[in-house]
Structure 1
Amino acid sequence: MSRADTPILEIGNVSRPFKSYAYIKNDDFHAEVGPSIHPSNKAAGNDGARRRGQLFHFRRRLPPTPIIRKACPSRRGDPHQSAFICPDRARRRRNGLTATMAAPGPLLLLLLLLAFLAAATVSEGKIPMATWKQIRRINRAGPRLGVVVPNAFEMNPLLQSSSFVPDEHFPFLDFAGRRFRFGTIEKKRVIVVMTGLSMLNAGLATQLLLDLFEVEGVVHYGIAGNANPDLQIGDVVVPRYWAHTGLWVWQRYGDGPNDELPLESAGDYTRELGYLRFSDFSNATGNTLNRVWYQREEIFPVDGVPEQRQHAFWVPANAAYFGLAEKLEVVILQLPPCTFRWLLGLELDRCVNSSTCLPRRPAAMRVARGCSANTFVDNAAYRGFLSSKLNVTAIDMESAAVALVCLQQRRPFIAFRALSDLAGGGSAQSNEASVFAGLAAGNAVAVAVKFISMLDY
């Protein structure tokens, strides 16, 4: 092995090549270690040489690389000094480390390139720089209306309609498992995002929408179970308030309405909203399930004090949006079908096929309340409880989550829900949600699109 084909690492006061070696070998490299022999320390033997310095050679199994030699300023003509530390520099840095490095090899250049690319593509935590550039490009065009949809079968009628026109330059952006679609609905710029089933998915998708993009308001639509037997399948309702009715305190058996709940005195829970007592729906006495008390959500508004909670149960739709929805209600309910089709360009579906039709053409109307929870309600007793005790019409699994996020982010919100079934059965028509879900989804899209067309943006 020669010094000419390997990088050199020099330590201490070394001025000549070493004379002897201790040779170490493994699969990746050879290491040669030997005492430097200087004329001035020959008498000292190997121990003296070791005190004056050691010379290490590391040779990787790579093609030979020429050594970059730098001559001492005072001895440029001496070839023996060109590859070693100058004596005066060695005196100033005795026992220090001076390295004569080889030219960077292909592996080092590759690592530097990868590090540069990583630094250029990662920004703001988990969001790549390329994604941020796309988001900024979208936001430069100005605020858009957010359209939040629970599932694909509710979103597809919108995407397939002539009312939605995708952005020809930037139709969508995929991020965090969501696809944000950009375009226009009746010439209004929109961002459409599908949430997926449940309160958690609806909340996450809405939060991402509001965090990443300039959104001026949120329109949410989909299908829902019906708790009001006076309404018909296919009708589209616009609740004034939404509540999450899946947050409970399940009371200990033996306690009653006058007994304080755990942590109630600390403000965590309350008995103000009422309860559901299971024994009221039991055929036997002594039901040990006792009762559950409905609870408010903890919220942390963006304009509030961080980590200081507030509480919300009934979350209102935006007052201006709700007032605008009245125009849909009046026109659809009071004018003849041929007239309102001409005025609004809107016709709600009545028939699934030639043999399955509803008794009357569905209508859109504002109602007092809707509720959401991670529960598919197909129970007549619970439907009756929600209607009589909480005055609820629409029952779904997402709207309250969207409303709660918009409340905390201070964004206008409204929801349109088409009734797909009378929860728990009992209507004159076939009452399976699977029968009328497609019809209801189409009606929800029609009303939401018409509402968006009336917005003054």
Structure 2
Amino acid sequence: MASLDHTLCLPLLFILIISTVHVLPASATRSHKLKNAITIREVNRRGPYIGLVTVFETEENAFLGSVDFRPDPAHPFLDLSGRRFRIGKIHGKKVVYVRCGIGMVNAAAATQQMIDVFNMKGIVHFGIAGNINNSMSIGDVSIPKQITNAGLWDWLNPDKAEGGDYAAYLDFGKYTVPQGDGSDSMLGSIGYSYEELYSVSIGHKNSPKKVFWINTTQEWLQLAAGLEKMELLQCVNATLCLPEKPKLVVGLKAATANTFVDNAAYRDFLYYTFGVSSSDMESSAVAMTCVSNGYPVIVIRGLSDLAGAQTGDNAVRKFGSLAATNTARAVLEFIKKLPPNYNLNSYV
């Protein structure tokens, strides 16, 4: 009988050990969350803040290398969900800065987390982008008034005629080589669809509004208009310069999708169909998240390449750092222009 009791005890001991192993990380996580909650409360007492959201290392290096960023002496940063949110001041303005990571999911997640966790006034999103507009050049900076998600579409059955509630169509058959009517293209066409915007400004709860364009904040655009004469860099170094001095333009349109555009035909399609001047992979996600929550947002993008219109290799590797530096300069000048104190509600 004693032998039987010993046999029964072994599985129970094994279960107890496994349970203990699983409990320890959970306990550690709760402790970490409690510590973060205390830090967040202390940080927010010092707010409100301007949120700064960029995308990847080239942009971050250009920005942090160009600014006099003064970290908060008590809480210089907070690590959340694998991202580092830096807390401090730039030109005397209180800011929270984060590098979100490439793509729309990263952009929306980081922006929503920033809005949920910190005491925010609004969001300045910035980075580099492909140039879709022939009147613009590499090195220029665009601050768009409207942004669309150009990656939200239905891939249609080739046997189905175009129709329905779509903003535009792209017929792949029209781009066959040698040129033909494209009637035998198995790729058919895609129909560009609309975002479903859930917003605090919509009267009915849980009832989204269909939108194609997301508008950035008009008051901030008016403030940014004063930047159009600012000085931008023309050279990467002593031997690599652009042929013309870059310019900053406010009020154009931009496209966003989880696609790096390096194709001349698709570039032309985007420009002639939607009138966009730049293409990137995050802006509409940041803008839509801000609009949904009722926060001011502005997007500042430096043009790093021609999105496929070039001869030879894409220029992003040559001029990406210059575009990022010009973007950083524009962001800093915009931060300077922001009033030291203003009511958030007046910008929503």
Once the two structures are TM-superposed, the CA of residue 251 in structure 1 deviates from its matched residue by 1.5
1:301 touches 1:410 (CA, 8 Å); kept in 2? yes
Measure how far apart 1:391 and its partner are. 0.4
Query: Is the CA contact 2:63–2:324 (under 8 Å) kept in the aligned structure 1?
Result: no
* Structure with larger RCO (C-alpha < 8 A, sep 6+): 2
Structure 2 equivalent of residue 237 of structure 1: 142
Within the alignment, does 1:446 sit opposite 2:344 as a pair? no
In 2, the alpha carbon distance for the partners of 1:388 and 1:23 equals: 85
Larger radius of gyration between Structure 1 and Structure 2:
1
Report what 1:301 is aligned to. 199
The whole-number CA distance in structure 1 between the counterparts of 2:274 and 2:67 is 39
Distance 1:181 1:231 in 2: 33
Distance 2:201 2:237 in 1: 51
Distance 2:67 2:286 in 1: 26
The answer to whether structure 1 residue 397 and structure 2 residue 275 are counterparts is no
TM-score (norm 1): 0.66
Task: Report the Cα distance in structure 2 between the residues aligned to 1:23 and 1:325, rounded to whole angstroms.
Answer: 83
SS at structure 1 position matched to 2:66? coil
Aligned counterparts, 1:316-395, within 5 A: 316-329=215-228, 331-332=229-230, 347-395=231-279
- Give the Å deviation of 1:231: 1.2
For residues 121 and 355 of structure 1, what CA distance do their matches in structure 2 show?
52
Q: Which runs of 5+ in 1 are unaligned?
A: 1-21, 31-110, 261-269, 333-346
Other-structure match for 2:34: 129
Contact 2:221/2:251 (<8 A) preserved:
no
State whether residues 367 and 393 of structure 1, in contact with CA within 8 Å, keep that contact through their aligned partners in structure 2: no
What SS is found at the alignment partner of 1:160?
Answer: helix
Distance between the aligned counterparts of 2:191 and 2:113, measured in 1?
Answer: 31
Query: AA paired with 1:245?
Result: A
Q: State the identity %.
A: 38
Question: Match for residue 213 of structure 2?
Answer: 314
Instruction: Determine which structure has the larger helix proportion and give its number.
Output: 2
Aligned to 2:15: none
Count of aligned pairs:
324
Q: Are 1:291 and 2:185 an aligned pair?
A: no
Query: Can you give the 5+ residue segments of structure 2 that lack an aligned partner in the other structure?
Result: 10-19, 341-348
Matches within 5 A, 1:32-431: 118=27, 122=30, 128-257=33-162, 259-260=163-164, 270-271=165-166, 273-283=167-177, 284=180, 285=182, 286-302=184-200, 304=202, 305-329=204-228, 331-332=229-230, 347-426=231-310, 431=314
Report if aligned partners of 2:47, 2:94 keep a CA contact under 8 Å in 1.
no
What is the RMSD computed on CA atoms of the aligned residues? 2.6
| Whole-Å separation in 2 of the counterparts to 1:239 and 1:29 | 70
Instruction: Tell me the amino acid that sits aligned with residue 119 of structure 2.
Output: E
- Equivalent pair of 1:158/1:164 in contact (CA under 8 Å): no
2 CA distance for matches of 1:149 and 1:422? 21
Shift of residue 276, structure 1, vs aligned partner: 0.9
The residue type paired with residue 224 of structure 1 is A
Deviates more, 1:213-222 or 1:158-167: 158-167
Q: Within 5 A, what are the aligned runs for 1:18-33? A: 26-27=5-6
1:29 deviates by 11
Q: Which amino acid aligns with 1:195?
A: C
Normalising by structure 2, we get a TM-score of: 0.86
Contact between 1:121 and 1:130, CA under 8 Å: does it hold in 2? no
Structure 2: which amino acid aligns with 1:433? V
Give a deviation string over 1:113-136, Cα, whole Å, max 9, x none.
Answer: x99x94x9738xxx7111111111
One-letter amino acid matched to 1:311: K
Q: Tell me, yes or no, if the aligned pair for 1:167 and 1:183 is still in contact at 8 Å.
A: yes
Provide closer, same or farther for how the CA distance between residues 356 and 306 of structure 1 changes in structure 2, counting only shifts above 3 A.
same
Q: Using a 3 Å threshold, how does the CA distance of structure 1 residues 29 and 237 change in structure 2: closer, same or farther?
A: closer
d(CA) in 2 for partners of 1:296, 1:311:
6
| Shift in alpha-carbon separation, 1:25–1:239, aligned structure 2, 3 A | same
CA–CA distance in structure 2, aligned partners of residues 146 and 153 of structure 1? 19
Tell me, in whole angstroms, the C-alpha distance in 1 between the residues paired with 2:196 and 2:299: 21
SS state of the match for residue 292, structure 1?
A: strand
CA drift of 1:309 comes to: 2.1
The CA distance in 2 between the partners of 1:150 and 1:349, in whole Å, is: 21
Map of 1:35 onto structure 2: none
SS at structure 2 position matched to 1:128: helix
Matched residues in 2 for 1:316 and 1:308: separation?
A: 19
**Shift of the alpha carbon at 1:432?**
1.6
- Partner Cα separation in structure 2 for residue 205 and residue 226 of structure 1: 25
Contact 1:163 1:449 in 2 (8 A): no
Q: Is the 8 A contact 1:183 1:189 kept in 2?
A: yes
Instruction: Tell me the amino acid that sits aligned with residue 280 of structure 1.
Output: K
Cα gap change, 1:279/1:121 in structure 2, threshold over 3 Å: closer, same or farther? Answer: closer
